[in-house]
Amino acid sequence: MSCIETSHLSKSYGSVFAVDSLELSVQSGQVFGFLGPNGAGKSTTIKLLTTLIQPTSGSMSILGIDAAKNPLQIRHKIGVVLQQPSYEPTLSVEKSLDKYGMMWNVPRNERKKRVEQLLFDFDLKEIRKKRNEDLSIGQRRRVQVAREFMHDMDLLFLDEPTVGLDPKARRNLLDYLKSKVKTGLTIFYTTHILSEAEYLCDKVAIIDKGKIVTVDTPDALKSKFGNKKTIKIHLNDERKETVSLLSNIEDCKIDFNNGTDIVIHSEKPGYVLLQILKILNDEAIEIEDLSAVPTNLEEIFLRMVSQNAPDHQISK
């Protein structure tokens, strides 16, 4: 079942398109990653899909509801966590959660149960009595995400939800989101941390300059665009002649980070590696460490964005 459908969805500011003829189809019960560089149009897209702003042109259906005709009906069925910090400075963590439940008309007994569960799930029990203004940035962000689960929803929009979180808190949040998707929740997820998208998302779209560059599963993207491999070599000592010795090898791009670290990118890694090893052996240049790194989603993202046609209008 389709959860989000857009057709030629656009948002312009004067002559500049922040979102340009967006075509999206998001299925229910999955995490849909929405990736792109700063200014690509990610946040504008979320504001459109959550009916916070109106499109310049095009149409969208959210949870089977026509967004143009029934925006309030959509808002009652979704949750939204935007990039901007949002908290009540003088309220304690637990009272902040409870107030959010009241706003969504959650019955008192049910609110108490949900508050306790979320304090546990988001590791907030020890700071439950602290005021939000006294929390760290990461703690406030955890509260901001946790309170969204005080109400029932079919679709959740998360815009950079792990900003400020330490690695442990970030992984705990990702695992929590995975568990919620198993219950039927659909999540529209933006992030700049590509390893998050690779770990969490069932499908990802890459947007640049307001246009969708590609849409597929992380594994399919790696299979489709991941033929280039990265080889990393660390030499025992610095040899200035290494640069000139390796510079003429074909079918590869070589980065000399310094005299001892070499990074090679190639679509023919086996052939290139043999050439390099032969040269280093002939010149008696000792290798301390060598590793072949498989293509990850971050490398694909960088490649897709860099290859995007330069003639599109730049978005806000």
Q: What CATH number matches the domain at 2-217, 3.40.640.10, 3.30.530.20, 1.10.10.10, 3.40.50.300?
A: 3.40.50.300
Q: Are strands 211-216 and 57-62 parallel, antiparallel or unpaired?
A: unpaired
User: What are the pLDDT tens digits along the chain (316 aa)?
Assistant: 789 999 999 999 998 999 999 999 999 999 999 988 888 899 999 999 999 999 999 999 999 999 999 999 999 999 999 988 888 999 999 999 999 999 999 999 999 999 999 999 999 999 999 999 999 999 999 999 999 999 999 999 999 999 889 999 999 999 999 999 999 999 999 988 888 888 999 999 988 889 998 898 888 877 766 566 777 888 877 666 676 777 778 777 777 766 678 787 777 777 888 888 888 888 888 888 877 666 666 666 666 666 664 544 433 3
Place of tokens 């010149």: 283
| CB proximity list for 52: less than 8 A, separation 6 or greater | none
Q: Is 46 exposed, middle or buried (0-12, 13-18, 19+ CB in 10 A)?
A: buried
Element (H, E) at 265: strand 261-266
**Cβ atoms 171, 14 nearer than 8 A:** no
User: Distance between alpha carbon 310 and the CA centroid of its chain, in Å?
Assistant: 23
Q: What CATH number matches the domain at 227-294, 3.20.20.70, 3.30.70.250, 3.90.1570.10, 1.10.3720.10?
A: 3.30.70.250
User: Which ranges in the chain are annotated with CATH 3.30.70.250?
Assistant: 227-294
Q: Using DSSP, state whether 262 is helix, strand or coil.
A: strand
